[in-house]
Chain A
Amino acid sequence: MNIVVCMKSVPSSETKVKINSDGVTIEQTDVVFEINPYDEYAIEEAIRAKEAHGGKVTILTLGAATATQNIRKALAMGADEALHLICENAELADSSTIAELLYSAIKEIEYDVIFCGKKAIDCDNHQVPNRLAQLMDIPAVTAISNLELTTESGSAKRNIEGGTELISVNLPALFSAEKGLNEPRYASLPGIMAAKKKPLEERQVSLSNEKLTILSLELPPPKPKGRIVGEGPEAAGELVRILREEAKVI
């Protein structure tokens, strides 16, 4: 079973965002980049599928040159090879352009399954997996929390408001991972050593035909200073009164 995993390198969730003076990008000094958490579930699921059915896992990343270290991490977890589409300033780029670029790369790769994270935690766009599947004309099940995979088909559970859907599709297919799909492994030391020798191809790509234009990037307006109502259970009555009479939210 040949598997492609789309992986993005993103500022860690602990990052304090600061805006550059250009007003459309964030400051990257001191920012720690990690594998997008949802993509980590995708990588883990891909490695498990390879362990069960044989084949190969290819990591496909579009992003800055600095993403290399996270690609090596994915290889250390157990992926076999990687293709890095190097593109600066793609972090918040239009998903339709990103999907097109991934599509042109992926159609040259043999695959049965494509795994993605359900979204990237930087742009929060929630678009690339479905756009990619649409371009490739294969079925997609997004935000899955469970997957039963055979060599012919996949049955996936996805969380919806107040329940789950169970969806079965024939391969080739794309699945995007939700938290809870699995517990991603840590890279082993031999894995880290082996990763250094695994094939990593780099190609330069550039953004074009974006359908969205970034006009500005701003920090959210500061919250007005809050008020400590009091200490301990004695303050509970006053808090409830404020919520009902002043804030009018209960």
Chain B
Amino acid sequence: MAQGILIFAEQREGVLKPSSLEAATLGRELKKEIGGELSVAIIGANSSSLSSEFKQYGVDKVYLADSEELNQYDGERYTALLAEAVSKAQPSVLIIVASAMGKDIAPRVASSLDAGLATDCTDVEVIDGKIIITRPVYAGKALIKLRIDSEFQILSIRPNVFPKKVEGDTDPEVIELQIGEKKNPVSEVQHVKSERPELTEASIIVSGGRGMGGPENFHVTEELADVLGAAVGASRAVVDAGWRPHTEQVGQTGKTVSPNLYIACGISGAIQHLAGMSSSKVIVAINKDAEAPIFKVATYGIVGDLFEVVPKMIEEIKALNS
């Protein structure tokens, strides 16, 4: 009988994705209810040192594939390795972070192991040994509660939703995985140089909408983002107009985000935009139009010209920080 929890630890270039520790914390909680061991699968080049990052998360075992050959994410190879870790650990639950990599690997491994998979979960509970999850559908316009019925259950969790918490100290046993051969090479990875955090991982997001007036004005929201250490987002209207890149779009046809703080500047609040950001913990709206729908979801609002309000906010935050 399968038992225990396996976490897929996501890394790129030897750097652990912080949300992997959120997955480990959830894993430790679930272990209390379903028993067995808590294990972590670490796959990638120069990744062996990452196991120490899990020491304070109650991890019993680490399944490790560390090889220069694994320096880039390769869906097929990583899937084979993760499936091998599953066959060794025999867990009843596998937890993956719903990042770009996690969204790619989760259905692959679910299909190869014929398991049920619930993606992008925002809440998890255990009832009679079965995992019951809650996840947003229709980009968050509704929440669905699902039971995973397969014996081996996989879930991916939305980054930034589950807390991470250190507790105790373990010295996990390390088990090496067999690395198979390469089929479809990732020929190249290009990094867009950005000093700002990634949209889906950021704890603060500053977004601009049509009220920004034009692409030349986004330095205003960028500056606010920079004093807050925030990511920069955009509404569909400004992405479709070509003012901002697709990668910044928040909404039903862009990214769904749940930061601690979402600051919407000059965004009226179309349904599809609200769907993508209304699960943010605190929402600030700055808009000239007091009737704009964004104020219905906003925790705090300022009615006014963003070109006056935002520079003043930047000034105030700088004063606080100095």
Contact = CB atoms under 8 A, between A and B. Distances in A.
Interface in B272-302: 272, 275, 278-279, 281-285, 290, 295-302
A139 B317 CA distance: 49
A132 to B, nearest CB: 8
Given A161-B200, A213-B149, A217-B137, A139 B76 contact: yes
B301 A229 contact: yes
Interface in A76-135: 92, 94-96, 99, 121-131, 133-135
A212 B76 CA distance: 25
B184 A96 contact: no
Interface in B251-286: 251-254, 256, 260-261, 270-272, 275, 278-279, 281-285
B300 A229 contact: yes
A236 B282 contact: no
B112 interface: yes
A193 interface: no
Contact of A227 (B76, B120, B299, B320): B299
A208 interface: no
B78 interface: no
Given A16-B271, A166-B186, A223-B278, A214 B144 contact: yes
Q: Considering residues A11, A129, A143, A212, which has the most beta carbons from chain B within 10 angstroms of its beta carbon?
A: A212
B313 A236 contact: yes
B189 A212 contact: no
Contacts of B183: 139
Contact of B144 (A217, A239, A242, A244): A217
A21 interface: no
**Chain A residues touching B, majority SS:** mixed
Contacts of A158: 100
Given A214-B145, A226-B298, A231-B304, A168 B185 contact: yes
Contacts of A134: 107-108, 111-112
B189 A163 contact: yes
B46 interface: no
A29 interface: no
A229 B320 CA distance: 19
B148 A211 contact: yes
A179 interface: yes
B200 A240 contact: no
Contact of A162 (B116, B191, B295): B191
Interface residues of B, number: 102
Interface in B24-45: none
B249 interface: yes
A230 interface: yes
B300 A242 contact: yes
B185 to A, nearest CB: 6
A213 B137 contact: no
Given A139-B183, A213-B146, A236-B302, A121 B138 contact: yes
Name the residue among A17, A123, A180 with the largest chain B CB count within 10 angstroms: A17
Contact of A243 (B119, B246, B284, B296): B284
Nearest to A228: B301
Interface string B112-145: 1011111110000000000010011111111111
Nearest to A235: B302
A96 B108 CA distance: 11
Given A127-B117, A166-B190, 11 more contacts: A14-B272, A92-B144, A121-B139, A165-B73, A211-B148, A215-B147, A217-B145, A220-B278, A226-B283, A233-B311, A235-B302
Interface of A: 11, 13-17, 19, 26, 37-38, 92, 94-96, 99, 121-131, 133-135, 139-143, 145, 155, 158-170, 178-180, 210-220, 223-224, 226-233, 235-237, 239-244, 247, 249-250
16 contacts: A11-B138, A15-B271, A17-B138, A19-B142, A96-B110, A133-B108, A160-B12, A168-B184, A180-B245, A215-B147, A220-B278, A236-B310, A236-B312, A236-B315, A243-B284, A249-B204
Interface of B: 12, 72-73, 75-76, 98-101, 103-104, 106-108, 110-112, 114-120, 132, 135-150, 183-192, 194, 198, 200-201, 203-204, 228, 245-247, 249, 251-254, 256, 260-261, 270-272, 275, 278-279, 281-285, 290, 295-305, 308-313, 315-317, 320
